[in-house]
Amino acid sequence: MSATSIGLLIATIWAASLRQNINATLYAVFFGFYGSYAALSLGLTHNWFGITADQVQATTALWTGSWLLTIGMLTVLVVRLPWSFPFLLAIVDVALVLLLIGTLATSTLATQVGGWVVFLFVAVAMYLYVAAMWEETGGSPLPMGRPLVS
């Protein structure tokens, strides 16, 4: 997680320096997500924050809910992009809702389904990456969909 967040921080700075504001925003949000997840996981494991065992569930739920709110807002803000981008973020929202339910209700099923939804998110993200690489290397653009709002 820490390596991912460092890579996303570099991508954020690079995109911002090229004035690619939407890319920089997306990278920055996911940098914050992965960086804070690494800090939360390491901090809870090594008791850096002094959070007692009985408060770990509430802390994790607060973290998950905060990111659900943040990425949910970003999902709404990207509706002018091709529909594949809001779709990608909506998948993240669904995963976070399921993981939040799994945390609050201690539901193994919700947590497992949330994990599978994360795989769906990765599949869509891989498609977007392949589409970008395909076009950057001279190929015809792959379909990304029309904007939901024009």
pLDDT at 1: 67
pLDDT tens-digit series, residues 88-108:
999 999 999 999 999 999 999
* pLDDT given at position 136: 94
Q: Which residues of the chain have pLDDT under 70?
A: 1
Task: Identify the residue whose tokens are 């977007």.
Answer: 128
The reported pLDDT for the residue numbered 2 is 82
Q: Which residue has the tokens 């804070």?
A: 36
Q: What share of the chain is helix, strand, coil (3-state, %, to 5)?
A: 80, 0, 20
- What predicted TM-score, i.e. pTM, was given to this entire model? 0.92
Strand partners, 82: 147
Q: At 82, is the secondary structure helix, strand, or coil?
A: strand
CA distances from 45 to 42, 49, 123 (A): 5, 10, 30
Measured between alpha carbons, how far is 140 from 38 in angstroms, rounded to an integer?
Answer: 38
Map residue 48 onto helix, strand or coil. Answer: coil
Q: CA–CA distance from 128 to each of 32, 78, 88, 132, 133 (Å)?
A: 21, 15, 9, 6, 9
What are 82's two structure tokens?
């091709």
